[in-house]
């Protein structure tokens, strides 16, 4: 009986145990890891990932995926930088236009997935390359810098000791959680992800749910891109490279199902922190970028494999 309880405990809090284990391992491996400055740094870096993850969670709950997140971040990076530097646009306006554009890209993804029934993997693979291409064309491959001073506040400012990006992330996480749990359309995401046909017959506008999920994904990716731009203070064509990978990995680690229908913001937070601590810890331990890629890839495989095995177990139990 007792072993069963331990087992259940481990299963339920597995993700937090992994997080704890990582913290212990890295604090032993590197004395700098637990310093306040490093912790603040980790959380601040996590904020871009966290903001984009809030968008992606809607898409994954309805059973989709958005591979274009990374290049949308890049695209927003470049166009907002371009508007401010080359056109002298007000930073707030430029940011809003950038986020508006990314929301439209998301809407486009959702529209194609819902109406033309192309698998989301393919649709967003295409938009990924399209907007990465546009970013290169607009920037001419060069970094863009020289923004108005005020713009830096968003990514570099503090309220007390808390960095502004972290505050933004927390607001986004709360907003995401509110949408998923408190609004009627939030419940529709779960319904569509677990059974689209039954949802449609129950009066859920399945297409609209798709538009909304992908638009939200674009919106939060855009916001994440603006924060990143403000933090780095220069528009880079490589800003969002591989970013979709971190976002998807974080969510899957946090228990968001790759087949849709399940996932929550509270668990996703653990996944986001794990991904960021991995990156940070690897750097502190002097592990090369390339080896980091190898390890991160393995982490994603294990996380998805775990999710799938769990599902198979459940369905065989049901049959038996």
Partner 1 sequence: MSEVILQLKNITKRFPGVVALNNVSFDVRAGEVHALCGENGAGKSTLIKTCTGAVIPDEGEIVIDGQSFKQMTPQLADKYGIAVIYQELNSVGDLSASENVFLGNEIRRGVLVDKKEMARRSAEVFESLNIKINPYELVKNLTVGYRQMIEIAKAVSHNARVLIMDEPSAPLTNNETENMFALVEQLKKKGVAIVYISHRMPEIFRLSDRITVMRDGQYIQTLHTQETSNEELIKLMVGRELSATFPPRKTMVSEEVLLKAENLAGNGVKNISFELKKGEILGFAGLIGAGRTELAELIFGVKEIESGTLTWKGKEVKFHCPQEAIAAGIVLCPEDRKNQGLCLPMNIRDNISLSSARRLSRFCVLDWKKVDEISNSYKEKLQIKTPGLFQQAKNLSGGNQQKVVLAKGLATSPELVIFDEPTRGIDVGAKYEIYKLLNSLIEEGKTIIMISSEMEELIGMADRIIVLAEGHYGGEIRKEEFSQQLIMEYASKSY
Told to check if 182 binds partner 1 by CB under 8 A, we report yes
With CB under 8 A as the contact rule, the residue among 262, 284, 287, 300 that binds partner 1 is: 262
Told to check if 200 binds partner 1 by CB under 8 A, we report yes
Q: Which of 313, 116, 86, 138 is nearest to 207 (CA)?
A: 116
Q: Between 16 and 185, whose beta carbon lies closer to partner 1?
A: 185
Told to check if 302 binds partner 1 by CB under 8 A, we report no
Q: Between 50 and 63, whose beta carbon lies closer to partner 1?
A: 63
First to last CA, the chain: 23
> Can you spell out the DSSP letters for 54-118?
HHHHHHHHTT---TTHHHHHHHHHHHHHHHHHHS---HHHHHHHHHHHHHHHHHHHHHHHHHH--
Residue 43 to residue 275: CA distance in whole angstroms: 11
Told to check if 264 binds partner 1 by CB under 8 A, we report no
With CB under 8 A as the contact rule, which of the stretches 42-50, 97-105, 152-160, 193-201 interacts with partner 1? Answer: 193-201
Residue 238 to residue 241: CA distance in whole angstroms: 5
Told to check if 319 binds partner 1 by CB under 8 A, we report no
Told to check if 187 binds partner 1 by CB under 8 A, we report yes
With CB under 8 A as the contact rule, which of the stretches 8-16, 137-145, 179-187, 287-295 interacts with partner 1? Answer: 179-187
With CB under 8 A as the contact rule, which of the stretches 50-58, 85-93, 180-188, 242-250 interacts with partner 1? Answer: 180-188
Told to check if 318 binds partner 1 by CB under 8 A, we report yes
With CB under 8 A as the contact rule, which of the stretches 56-64, 95-103, 165-173, 183-191 interacts with partner 1? Answer: 183-191
Told to check if 44 binds partner 1 by CB under 8 A, we report no
Told to check if 261 binds partner 1 by CB under 8 A, we report yes
Cβ 315 to partner 1 shortest distance, Å: 10
Which burial class, exposed, middle or buried, applies to 304 when counting CB atoms under 10 A from its CB (0-12, 13-18, 19+)? middle
Q: Give residues with Cβ within 8 angstroms of 152, minimum separation 6.
A: 230, 233
Q: Between 96 and 262, whose beta carbon lies closer to partner 1?
A: 262
Distances (CA, A) of 276 to 246, 261, 281: 9, 25, 8
Residue pair 183/86 in contact by the 8 Å Cβ criterion: no
Task: Note the residues at the interface with partner 1 (CB under 8 A).
Answer: 182-188, 190-191, 194-195, 197-205, 261-262, 318
């Amino acid at each position: 009986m007792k072993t069963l309880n331990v087992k259940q405990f481990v299963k339920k809090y597995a993700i937090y145990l992994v997080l704890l284990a990582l913290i212990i391992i890295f604090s032993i491996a590197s004395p700098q890891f637990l310093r306040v400055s490093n912790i603040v740094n980790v959380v601040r870096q996590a904020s871009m990932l966290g903001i984009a993850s809030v968008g992606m969670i809607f898409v994954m709950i309805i059973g989709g995926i958005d591979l274009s997140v990374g290049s949308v971040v890049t695209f927003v990076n470049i166009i907002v930088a371009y508007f401010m530097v080359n056109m002298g646009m007000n930073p707030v306006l430029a940011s809003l236009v950038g986020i508006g554009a990314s929301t439209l890209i998301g809407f486009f993804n959702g529209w194609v997935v819902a109406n033309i029934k192309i698998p989301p993997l393919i649709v967003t693979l295409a938009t990924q390359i399209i907007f990465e291409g546009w970013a290169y064309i607009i920037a001419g491959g060069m970094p863009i810098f020289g923004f108005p001073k005020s713009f830096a506040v968003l990514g570099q400012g503090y309220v007390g000791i808390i960095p502004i990006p972290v505050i933004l992330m927390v607001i986004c996480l709360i907003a995401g959680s509110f949408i998923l749990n408190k609004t009627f359309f939030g419940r529709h995401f779960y319904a569509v992800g677990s059974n689209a046909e039954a949802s449609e017959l129950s009066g859920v506008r399945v297409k609209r749910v798709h538009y909304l999920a992908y638009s939200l994904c674009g919106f939060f990716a855009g916001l994440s891109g603006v924060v990143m731009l403000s933090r780095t203070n220069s528009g880079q064509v490589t800003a969002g490279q591989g970013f979709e990978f971190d976002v998807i990995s974080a969510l899957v680690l946090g228990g968001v199902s790759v087949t849709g229908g399940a996932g929550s913001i509270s668990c996703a937070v653990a996944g986001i922190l794990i991904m960021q601590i991995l990156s940070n810890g690897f750097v502190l331990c002097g592990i090369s970028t390339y080896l980091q890629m190898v390890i991160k890839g393995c982490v994603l495989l294990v996380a998805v494999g775990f999710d799938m095995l769990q599902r198979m177990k459940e369905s065989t139990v049901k049959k038996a």
